[in-house]
Amino acid sequence: MSKPVFKRVVLKISGEALQGRLGYGIDYDILASIAGQIKDVKSLGVDVAVVIGGGNIFRGTSAAGKSIDRANADYMGMLATIINGIALQGALEKIGVHTRVMTAIQMQQLAEPYIRRRAIRHLEKGRVVVFVGGTGNPYFTTDTTAALRASEIGGEVILKATKVDGVYTSDPAKNKNARKYDTLRYIDVLKKGLKVMDATATSLCMDNNLPIIVFNLLKSGNIRRVVLGEKIGTVVKG
Ligand code: UDP
């Protein structure tokens, strides 16, 4: 297997994956490993767009209701994704990968505003595009952003990078009898309340027939394996 099965992918990296074992912030070894894996996949001729989360720095839902309201807390979460995106750009450019950060929350000194046609043009020119600022709206998540951006830019699949090997019947860290699903239907994710993606993101993928592959990012070379069509992780589709 040496030919990629996808031409354009959207890689969703959660804040949790970025923080590694630190419990907060960015683990720079993991950041460098992710950048290296992206470079490797690009060398196969695949267009790579990244949607980055912010949960390693700030998560709206955990702060909402304390002394700030949900919308403000969510804007803080969106700012956290911008910090992560700038970090990933730094790591990618350090190894010679041309990268553009596009933000849904305007911040012109740091990043380009998100313009769909321009994002597609960057990809056509071989640049990695990192989408930050989520959808730009409170009450959403970066998983929903991944579903939205993939639909907008013609991404064929969402590669959801996590710390586990796929989706399990229960938490494999707590239950040794937990079984991994090889494939799942969107409707099962919704009905069973599986924590693959939130319901908004899953529905958007379902409506647009966009497959999601959930896989372990921390095993080096896994992004390449997925892109080359190796059956790892869990595939969620119609
Ligand atoms: N967020 C938001 N709107 C969006 C995307 C993200 O309000 O369109 C906020 C929300 O508060 C969320 C935070 O940004 O908790 C970080 O994003 P997310 O939780 O999706 O990050 P991840 O879990 O992938 O690290």
Q: Which pLDDT tens digit goes with each residue over 106-136?
A: 999 999 999 999 999 999 999 999 999 999 9
Among positive and negative, which fits the CA dihedral 59, 192, 180, 1? Answer: negative
Distance of CA 83 to the CA centre of its chain: 15
Which tens digit of pLDDT belongs to each residue from 50-98?
999 999 999 998 887 788 999 999 999 999 999 999 999 999 999 999 9
Global pTM value: 0.97
Q: How far, CA to CA in Å, does 126 sit from each of 45, 47, 119, 198, 226? A: 8, 7, 11, 31, 20
* Cβ of residue 135 lying under 6 Å from some atom of ligand 1: yes
* Nearby residues of 67 by Cβ (< 8 Å), 6 or more positions away: none
> For residues 133 and 86, is the Cβ–Cβ distance under 8 A?
no
Euclidean distance between CA atoms 119 and 100, whole angstroms: 9
* Cβ of residue 43 lying under 6 Å from some atom of ligand 1: no
* Cβ of residue 27 lying under 6 Å from some atom of ligand 1: no
Tell me the pLDDT of the chain averaged across its residues: 95
DSSP structural state of residue 136: S
Question: pLDDT-derived band of residue 1, with 50, 70 and 90 as boundaries?
Answer: low
Return the structure tokens found at 120: 């597609």
* Cβ of residue 133 lying under 6 Å from some atom of ligand 1: no
> For residues 73 and 61, is the Cβ–Cβ distance under 8 A?
yes
| Ligand 1 geometric centre to CA of 19 (Å) | 15
